[in-house]
Amino acid sequence: MKFDTPAGTNPIDQMKVVGRPTDRIDGPLKTTGTAPYAYERHDVAPDQAYGYIVGSAIAKGRITRMDTSLARAAPGVLAVLSTLDHAKPLPLGMMNIAHLFGGADIAHYHQAIAFVVAESFEQARAAAALIRTDYARDKGRFDLEAAAPTAPFEPTGDGPNAKDIDSVGDFASAFGAAPVRIEQHYTTPGESHAMMEPFATIAAWEGDKLTLWTSNQMIAWSKGSLAKILSMKPENIRVDSPYIGGGFGGKLFVRVDAVLAALGAKAAGRPVKVAMQRPLMANNSTHRPATIQTVKLGATPDGRLTAIHHSSTSGNLPDGKPEVAVQQTKLLYAAPNREIWMKLAVTDLPEGNAMRAPGEAPGLMVLEMAMDELAEKLGMDPVELRIVNDTQVDPAKPDRPFSERHLVECLRTGAEKFGWSRRNPKPGQTRDGKWLVGMGMAAGFRNNQLTKSAARIRLERDGHLTVETDMTDIGTGTYTILAQTAAEMMGVPLAQVRVILGDSDFPASAGSGGQWGANNSTAGLYAACVKLREQVAQRLGFNAADVQFADGQVRAGNRAVPLAEAARGGVLTAEDGIEYGTLDEQYQQSTFAGHFVEVAVDSFTGETRIRRMLAVCDAGRILNPKAARSQVIGAMTMGAGAALMEELAVDKRFGFFVNHDLASYEVPVHADIPHQEVIFLDYPDDKSSPMKAKGVGELGLCGVGAAIANAIYNATGVRVRDYPVTLDKHLDKLPSSWT
C-alpha cells in the first residue's frame, strides 16, 4: 500500500480497540518467567554447547602471538577459534564500523580475539583463561578534549549537497547586534546502553543452512549483515528473536555473539550458545559518544531569538559517524539567523553508535539548558521564552509547515498541571529543612521517522486471526498494539488475535528503533488487513467498499455473516506493507513534549533527589496509552540517569571504559525515581500514516536531562554545564546559610 495522501476516515478511527489502555498480551509470560529469551531457548536445538568470548587486553595495536594449546587440551573443550586463524578480518556488517572478528589488528579494547566452545559454561570459561596472548601496543587516541581542536567538520545533512556549516541568514552579524546574548560551552559523557539482557545467541547449522536464536531489534538488517559477514546467501540464514530484554539501540546491529556462535557451531559440529560477558558489554559493543557542545543565543529584550548557533564535537573510530547532537536545533525554535555544525574526531575508543534518541538526547540536554540561561538573563519565565519562539513551519524552509505541532499546548498544560506558577524564579531561595528545592523545565523534540514495513495476516478456519511479521518487541508492547490493530480492522475481540514476531521468515517490518516501530509496523499490518478485508468480502459475496467488520461479523445493508464463515472454504491469507510517498517532504513531521521536574538538593552533602516529574507529549494518535505511558516513564528514568549519574569513565592512558559493569556504571534504581506523570495530547496526524500515530518512546527522554539540570540550578544557584550533575561539581558552591 502506498501512503502518499493524508489519511481519510478509516476503520482505525472507530477506536474500539486501538487507543484503549490495554494490558500487554505478553505480560503473563514475562511476569511468570515463561517468555523465552535468546539464551533460554533450550528446546530449539538439541545438545547445545557453550561458548565464551575472549576480549583484547589492549585498545590499539596488534597481536603478535597467541598460544591456544592449553585451552584446546582443557577438559570439555570442543573447539577454539582464534582471530589469527584469519589472515584478514571477516567482512564488515552493513551497519558495523568495527570488524567483529578476525585478523591480528586491534581497533578497540575488548575486541573479540578468541572463542572457546565447551560442554559447559564453566569449562569454556576456564579454558579461555588458559589462552596466552602477546601484543604490540600502539599509541592510541583516547581523549576527546585533546582531539577536538583539530577535528574536521562533518556534514550536517545527508546526500551530496550536505554542507559543513548549515547556515541561514547572517548569524555572526545578528549575534553581534543582539541586545541580549549568551555563549556557553557544555559537555555530555559517553553512555552505555546497560540493558539487563546481554547480547546472546544460540546458533545451529543444518547443512549449509544457519539458524540463530538471538536478541536483536532489527531482524532484516541483521540477516543481511550476517550474510555479508559470513559470506553466505541471505536465504540460507534464519534469525529468530521473539523476546528481547532491552536494547535501547545497542541491539540494532549484529554483534560478535551472533557471529561467533555461528562460527563456533560450525567448528564444533553442534549447536552453540553464548552470552556476552557483562564486562565486555560496554567496550565490545556500541555506546553513546561523548560530546563537547557550544550554544550561542541572541535575542531581543522581549525574548525573541534573532540568532542561534549550536555546534558539537564527538569522536568515533575511523569511518564512524558523529553523535548528531545539533539536529533538533534546526527545527525547534524560530530564528532568522542560524549556524549549526558538527566536528568528528577520530578516536580509538569502542564504536559510538545509536542509543535511545541519538542526537536529541545529548543535544537537548545542552540546548535546553542554554535556553534556561537565556531566560534568566532576560528576566523572563522559561516557559514563556519557549512559547514566544514557537514556529509552525520549518525555520529554514518557511513554505514547509509542520504536519501537527502543539508544543505550546504541551508547555502550557504542563505548567498548569505541575504548579509552575509556585516556582520562585530566584535560585537558591526555597528550602524544606536541609533540602534546597527547585523546579526546572525543558522542551522535548524528536522527529517522526517513516520507513516501510510489512506483515502477514491469516483468517483461520475457527475465525481466529494470526499475525506474522519480523517486527520485534523490546519491551515496548508491540505484541499488543499489533493485536489491537488487527482486532480493530477485522472487528474481533483482542483475544481472537495471535501475534508471532521476530522471525526472519516472516515479512520484513520496520523493526524496533528510532521510535519508528509502533507507527510503521501497525501501518504495515493495516495494509495487510485491508487486503484481507477485500478477500473476506469477495468470498462472502459483499461489495468491499460497503462492508463493515464489527462484533465478529461482516455486515453490509441488512445482511450480517460471521467472520469465521469466510474461512470455512479454506484459510485466507493476506500480505502487504506500507510504503511512503512524499508527505514527509511536504510536511515536517515531528513530536513534541514539555518536561517538568522538581528536585531537592541536600545543602550539606550536595546529593540530588528528584521529587516529581511530568511529561506532556504531542505524538499523534496514541495506540495504547498504557503501553505508551510505560515507554515515556522509562525514558524519563533514563533521562534522570543521564542527568545525575551515567558516565562512561575513560582510562585515557590505556583506552577503555573502566566502569564496564552494572556495579560501577550507575543507573537509576527504584529509590531514585519518584512519582511520574504523563499526559498525552490528542492530535492524530493524518500526514504520518493510516494509523495517524507517531513515535513516543524516545520523545520521553528528549529534554529530561536539561529539565533536571535546570531544576538543580533553581534549587542551588549553581550552574553545572558538564553532565552528569554529580555532587562534587557543586558541593563547595552551595548556599551555606540557613534562612
> Active-site residue numbers?
698
CB 590 within 8 A of CB 695: no
CA angle 123, 125, 128 (to 5 degrees): 105
Grid-cell match 555479508, residue found: 228
Pairwise CA distance, residues 442 & 463, whole Å: 49
| CA nearest neighbour of 525 among 548, 564, 497, 550 | 497
Helix ranges restricted to H, 568-610 = 583-586
| CA nearest neighbour of 690 among 624, 621, 613, 640 | 621
Please tell me the number of Cα atoms within 13 Å of 151 on its side-chain side: 31
Q: Which residues are CB-neighbours of 443 under 8 A, at least 6 positions away?
A: 332, 364, 368, 371, 386, 407, 410, 411, 592, 593, 594, 595, 703
> Grid coordinates representing 697?
518512546
CB 524 within 8 A of CB 577: yes
Give how far the C-alpha of residue 701 lies from the chain's centroid of Cα atoms, to the nearest Å.
Answer: 10
Helix (H, G, I), strand (E, B) or coil at 633: helix
Q: Which residues are CB-neighbours of 541 under 8 A, at least 6 positions away?
A: none
Sheet with 435-447, side-by-side order of all strands: 431-432, 435-447, 590-602, 608-618, 675-680
DSSP track, 489-508: HHT--GGGEEEEE-BTTSPP
Q: Which residues pair with 438 in a beta bridge?
A: 599
Grid-cell match 516501530, residue found: 517
CA gyration radius for the chain? 27
Look at the chain and count its residues: 739
